[in-house]
Amino acid sequence: MIKQDIVKIIPLGGLGEIGCNMTIFEYQDKILIVDVGFKMPEESMPGIDYVIPNSSYLKGKEKNVVGIVFTHGHYDHIGAVPYIISKIWRRDLPIYASPLTKGIIIKRQLEFSKLPKLNIDEVRNGSIVKLKPFTIEFFSQNHNIPDNLGLIINTPLGNIVHTSDFKFDPAPVNDLPTDFKKLESIGNRKVLLLMSDSTGAEEEGHSLSEKDIFQNLEKIFQQANGRIIAATFSSLINRIQQMVTLAEKYKRKVIVEGRSMKTNIEISRQLGYFKIKKGTLIGKKNMRDFPDSKIIVLCTGAQGESSAALMRIVNREDKTIRLQKGDSMVLSSSVIPGNERSVQNLKDNILRQGAKVFHYKMMDIHAGGHAQKEELEKMIRIMKPKFFIPIHGQYSMLFSHAQIARETGILEKNIVVAENGQIVDLDPQRIFVEAKTVISNHIMVDGLGVGDVGEVVLRDRKMLAEDGMFVIVAVIDRKTGQVKGSPDIISRGFVYLRESKILLGETRKRVVGIINRTTGSEGAANMTYVKDEIRNKIGEFLFLKTQRRPMVLPVIIEV
Amino acid sequence: MIKQDIVKIIPLGGLGEIGCNMTIFEYQDKILIVDVGFKMPEESMPGIDYVIPNSSYLKGKEKNVVGIVFTHGHYDHIGAVPYIISKIWRRDLPIYASPLTKGIIIKRQLEFSKLPKLNIDEVRNGSIVKLKPFTIEFFSQNHNIPDNLGLIINTPLGNIVHTSDFKFDPAPVNDLPTDFKKLESIGNRKVLLLMSDSTGAEEEGHSLSEKDIFQNLEKIFQQANGRIIAATFSSLINRIQQMVTLAEKYKRKVIVEGRSMKTNIEISRQLGYFKIKKGTLIGKKNMRDFPDSKIIVLCTGAQGESSAALMRIVNREDKTIRLQKGDSMVLSSSVIPGNERSVQNLKDNILRQGAKVFHYKMMDIHAGGHAQKEELEKMIRIMKPKFFIPIHGQYSMLFSHAQIARETGILEKNIVVAENGQIVDLDPQRIFVEAKTVISNHIMVDGLGVGDVGEVVLRDRKMLAEDGMFVIVAVIDRKTGQVKGSPDIISRGFVYLRESKILLGETRKRVVGIINRTTGSEGAANMTYVKDEIRNKIGEFLFLKTQRRPMVLPVIIEV
């Protein structure tokens, strides 16, 4: 068989969604993996901890993996490593990441026992790595975490540029401004395919510079007479840095609340990506040693997460830090779709306690990390690719990004809006989506279980949440087929049992009636039928009485 | 005892929330009720259908109720009538509403059997009604449903103006523009207290006029070559009217999908609030008699509601109306907090099928029905009240509205940001919140149950949704105290049982061990202890093995 002279690009996650970023590049059986991210579950997945990409495409091809490269240290790009790495790991598997990304991956790996210790080689702006048949060059890209790298994937058929998450920032934090000269030199090297971040593709104009954010945050520092309590994502290292820089400028001591934020600050600081003076950080217990006007609390929980540090403070569960009049509360993060109500409740509860609230809708104290329409167009014009695939984002974002590409003059047939699991064939002449797809349904992680919660379990959870459950335990005399004593009923989430004695009494009577009518003297043979009868008849009866449909589960014991 | 010369204002719902609007006005034991609305449940209330105000304050005071007046026909102002009316109803209870509001209340009442037929008197702009000691004057207010009335509540101590939901619109649909002369004349009659709608109090500037919306919608009609499928709330009668007017202008036939939308059009049309020509409406089955360019489908489901008409069309479950290339889909409603993900998924699925999407973030094809900062300020300046209470809205909206009032010059001590259940005392000299509160925790409606689902049942539902349940049924020999046979396990929503045989086997073994160890030969005495042991030990064991915490429910049967 002649090997096909094409590069296959197979997104296993990140297309048509936010998160779970993981892409396969394959040339004549050799496989390069870019990013291994996870995402948080949707509301329709109760009890699920994370969602990870399905890596079964790699089964049997483990030896063909020439390496894994990571673009940056956010969990939607590295979070599934502990779950997926052991399936393809071998002692000499090359893994590349920037120093900060490496630090975060290794730290996360430590949370899981029994996993292999990863050997990750450091790369940085300008690094070139050979993973035959691919050569990967790394280049700096601005985002909201330091040490973010775009990729030039040199294949035997041409150059593929993968932007990573990015935005153009003329004045970033702890980072150099976007180097357009460098980007242009990449664009001049003939880019066959551009794969570019679509998260901001529905937003008009240009993303805010971190400098603007800094200036607005500074206004809050200038006005605040009391404490400042600032909440953001623990992964927004750059925003946290801004707060610390301002704290030092305005002589406030910094208290950090929330384990993940502490960890991220620690890692970044050790690696030199976070600047904080000695003495700036103080422990919570020392808060009272300083006047309120000299304190800032940095914490997680700007999304209204019920278990986060901010929620404890606002709900008065934190014994040391109590919200008080005069506090200025800064919510410096956008609201993730689905969290709007929690954030609204959070805001209301802060205001009720007399504190001030500053949030990103009132002034520009938060910027996303993603390029918006103007920047995306500029990136395409700089790279001048022949082919274009929008990546990272909901379908509507990919769609909008494709429109932008069209407007820059890229031919319709050269733009592919792909979906997870599709196989995109690329050669110097054309780009093409195969009819065949690979398995790409995501895997749910719940506690120690990876993939063991499927549709059946989820459906049951949702049913249980709606109207609860109703277990009926009846003991039958094997000889007579008649019920012994009164059936037991165990019900939760349906009605308040103490106030439903009449309903339960009637139900018991009906259960006895159904059993005594349907069992013969040899009960055993008909037990399935008896159970079905109870399930249906009692289900109907309860619905008639309550208009609710609890899960009815009959248990029949023969003695 | 000398009767106090104060008016008491007691909000039972609508403050610190969106929905459940219901307010009590009380003067020397005489009670006037304004609005009786409901709200939809929050995500933290699985299985709940509606939330309604708690009317227990009225218990024992039924005879003191001098009347109920309604401002408009939206469910957040009238939806709890069927649940609350029977508690205070008497044959001669005066109820007042505008004709359309009356039509909607009566229609809703019909959905409930066994409820008294309501006798509602019609009022309109300029009507004056005496409900001693109160006299109520009604005045037109623009909103997004016709026949919306503000109230001047004349009390022995002065005039209270209640704005209802409102916005100022110079060019509304099927309605006269805001009559500022009339408003000014009200303002000149000395307003003691203004109670004004706060829903838009965090939005800058002025709300859009329906005329602007109309012009933008018209652009879509001018461009569309294929069908138009337009989704909005069924309660946005004015928006639906705009679509129909445009359909007639552009010679499109109208198909209406969704029961609630059909009903609302029908009621409004009968009462003369909805203009539609004969022959404009066609049945779904006649759709194919006309070219696509001559069809518009109006439907519910712009929020991504799983059971709505739009969802069936987009998911290809509707057999007649199938989404196709060339369709233009118009989502003309804002996104209610909490629905963002559903709406995103909806948008993605429409785009995947090649149809165009127009939504309110792309162009102004939706306006809320609520006054924004500029209008709110203007209303306060026109009314020139001595006292001010912001009503209708989340706490942050009330807070923002109070700020607006302060900026117009109302004294800080004359502004009350009240909460549900508080008693606001008003006399010509001062306004004051009593320390005492009335019961105001809302009541959950689930099926036929009103108030029977409380914290316990909800907590159980949430637990069941997280990790499911695990019922263990063991039969014990009464004589020996030992387990007979193997315990039964019924589990749902925890793990997929077929793939967990080893876990279940181990669990059974442990259950037998626990029972045999803890029961003596007289088992009965220790049954509570045995059950606790099973619950705890098996709970721990399952957590150790899975890191999940299903609800463990032991059932022990002695034979």
How many Cβ pairs closer than 8 A exist between chain A and B? 194
Q: Looking at beta carbons, which residues of chain A come within 8 Å of B395?
A: 347-349, 351-352
Closest to A433 (Cα-Cα) out of A400, A387, A385, A399: A387
Asked if A461 is an interface residue toward chain B (Cβ–Cβ < 8 A), one would say yes
Q: Which two tokens stand for residue A250?
A: 């305005």
CATH of the domain at B189: 3.60.15.10
Rounded-to-integer distance, Cα A318 and Cα A287, Å: 13
pLDDT band, very low/low/confident/very high, at A522 (cuts 50, 70, 90): low
Taking the CA of residue A554 and the nearest CA in chain B, the distance in Å comes to 9
User: Is B463 a member of any domain?
Assistant: no
Which pLDDT belongs to residue B254?
A: 97
Q: How far apart (Å, rounded) are the C-alpha atoms in residues A55 and B255?
A: 46
| pLDDT higher than 90, residue B112 | no
Q: Identity (one letter) of the amino acid at A185?
A: S
Note the pLDDT tens digit of each residue in A243-295.
Answer: 999 999 999 999 999 999 999 999 999 999 999 999 999 999 999 999 999 99
Rounded CA separation A302/A286 (Å)? 24
Q: Give B344 or A71, the one with higher predicted confidence.
A: A71
Q: Does A341 contact B43 at a Cβ distance shorter than 8 Å?
A: yes
> Is B217 in the same domain as B193?
no
| pLDDT score at B243 | 95
Q: Give the HSE-up count for residue B554: Cα atoms under 13 Å, Cβ half-sphere.
A: 26
Pairing of strands B431-437, B443-446: unpaired
Between strands A149-155 and A134-140, the pairing is: antiparallel
Most A CBs within 10 Å: which of B111, B457, B498, as the mutation test of the A interface? Answer: B457
DSSP-based three-state secondary structure for A397: helix
In this prediction, residue A124 carries a pLDDT of 96
CA of B31 vs chain A CAs: smallest distance (Å)? 29
Half-sphere CA count of A526, side-chain side, radius 13 A: 18
Mutate which of B314, B460, B558 to disrupt the A interface (most A C-beta within 10 Å)? B460
Query: Helix (H, G, I), strand (E, B), or coil: what is residue B448?
Result: coil
Amino acid at B177: P
Burial of B398 from C-beta contacts in 10 A (0-12 / 13-18 / 19+): buried
pLDDT at B250 exceeding the cut of 60: yes
Provide the residue range defining the domain that includes B78.
7-205+368-450
> Do B494 and B546 fall within a single domain?
yes
The C-alpha of B58 sits at a distance from chain A's nearest C-alpha, in angstroms, of: 24
pLDDT band at A521 (very low <50, low <70, confident <90, very high): low
d(CA B555, CA B550) in angstroms, rounded, equals: 16
What residues of chain B, 326 to 365, have a C-beta less than 8 Å from chain A?
Answer: 337-338, 340-341, 344, 347-349, 351-352, 357, 361
* Structure tokens belonging to residue A83: 């779950």
Q: Do A492 and B460 touch (CB under 8 A)?
A: yes
Give residue-wise pLDDT tens across range B222-235. 999 999 999 998 98
Residue B528: the pLDDT is: 87
- Asked whether the beta carbons of residue A555 and residue B337 sit closer than 8 angstroms, the reply is no
The last residue of one of the domains, among B359, B384, B416, is B359
Q: Do B546 and A449 touch (CB under 8 A)?
A: yes
Q: Min CA distance, B432 vs chain A (Å)? A: 18
A461 in a structural domain: no
The number of CA neighbours under 13 Å toward the Cβ of A465 is: 22
- How far apart (Å, rounded) are the C-alpha atoms in residues A521 and B356? 66
CA distances from B415 to B4, B257, B385 (A): 22, 46, 10
- Please check whether residue A149 is in contact with residue A123, taking contact to mean a CB–CB distance below 8 angstroms: yes
- CATH for A517: 3.10.20.580
Residues A17 and A157 in one domain: yes
CA distances for A376 relative to A159, A165, A407, A417, B250, angstroms:
19, 11, 11, 16, 38
For chain A, how big is the Rg over CA atoms in Å? 29
Helix axes A455-467, B455-467, angle to 10 degrees: 180
How, if at all, do strands B121-122 and A253-257 pair?
unpaired
A47 to chain B: nearest residue by CA? B466
What percentage of chain A has pLDDT greater than the value 70? 98
Same domain, yes or no: B169 and B37: yes
| Tens-place pLDDT, residues B37-79 | 999 998 888 899 999 999 999 999 999 999 999 999 999 999 9
Mean of pLDDT over chain A: 92
User: Of the residues B359, B388, B409, which one is the last residue of a structural domain?
Assistant: B359
The pLDDT value recorded for residue B520 is 65
**Please, which residues 203-242 of chain A have a Cβ atom closer than 8 Å to chain B?**
none
Looking at the fold, whether B183 and B63 belong to one and the same domain comes out as yes
Q: What is the CATH number of the domain that holds B291?
A: 3.40.50.10710
Q: Convert the pLDDT of each residue in B144-168 to its tens digit.
A: 899 999 999 999 999 999 999 999 9
Cis link prior to B133 (omega < 30° from 0)?
A: yes
**Is A79 a domain residue?**
yes
**Same domain (yes/no): B314, B287:** yes
How far is Cα A264 from Cα A258, in angstroms, rounded to an integer?
Answer: 10
- Element holding A13 (H helix, E strand): strand A7-13
Answer for the pair A372, A205: CB distance below 8 angstroms, yes or no.
yes
CB proximity under 8 Å: A 12-41 to B: 16
pLDDT value of position A525: 55
Contact flag A545-B448 (C-beta cutoff 8 Å): yes
Three-state SS at A374: helix
Closest residue in chain A to residue B476, using alpha carbons only: A559
Task: Tell me whether residue A311 is in a domain.
Answer: yes
How big is chain A, counted in residues?
559
Residue A21 lies in a domain: yes
Instruction: Say if residues B154 and B136 touch (Cβ distance below 8 Å).
Output: yes
- Asked if B157 and B300 sit in the same domain, the reply is no
Is B304 within the bounds of a domain?
yes
**Residue pair B149/B174 in contact by the 8 Å Cβ criterion:** no
Q: What backbone torsions phi and psi does residue A108 show, to the nearest 5 degrees?
A: -65, -40
Q: Tokens 């379908």 appear where?
A: A395
Q: Answer yes or no: are the C-beta atoms of B206 and B237 closer than 8 Å.
A: no
∠ CA B260-B261-B262, rounded to 5° = 90
Q: How confident is the model at residue B522 (pLDDT cuts 50, 70, 90)?
A: low
The token duo for A267 is 């890692």
Q: Does B455 touch chain A (CB under 8 A)?
A: no
Chain B residues with CB under 8 Å of A463 CB are 492-493
Closest to B461 in 3D by CA, of A145, A463, A121: A463
Say whether residue A471 is in contact with chain B using an 8 A CB cutoff. yes
Residues of chain B in contact with residue A500, where contact means CB-CB under 8 angstroms, are: 452
| Chain A closest-CA separation from residue B29 CA (Å) | 31
Task: Give the β-pairing of B158-162 and B149-155.
Answer: antiparallel
The C-alpha torsion from A460 through A462 and A464 to A466, rounded to 10°, is: -150
Q: Is A131 found in the same domain as A43?
A: yes
Q: Any bridge partners for residue B61, and if so which? A: none
Do residue A125 and residue A214 come from a single domain?
Answer: no
Q: CB-based contact (8 Å) between B266 and chain A?
A: no
Global pTM reads 0.91
pLDDT at B9: 98
Rounded Cα distance between A236 and B511, Å, is 48
Residue A455: inside a domain: no
Contact state of A464 with B467 under an 8 Å Cβ cutoff: no
The answer to whether residues B355 and B377 belong to one domain is no
Both A119 and A40 in one domain: the answer is: yes
Same domain, B526 and B414: no
> Does residue A458 sit within a domain?
no
Domain ends where: B341, B359, B377?
A: B359
pLDDT at A367 over 70: yes
Total number of domains constituting chain A:
3
Query: Given pLDDT bands bounded at 50, 70 and 90, which one contains residue A164?
Result: very high
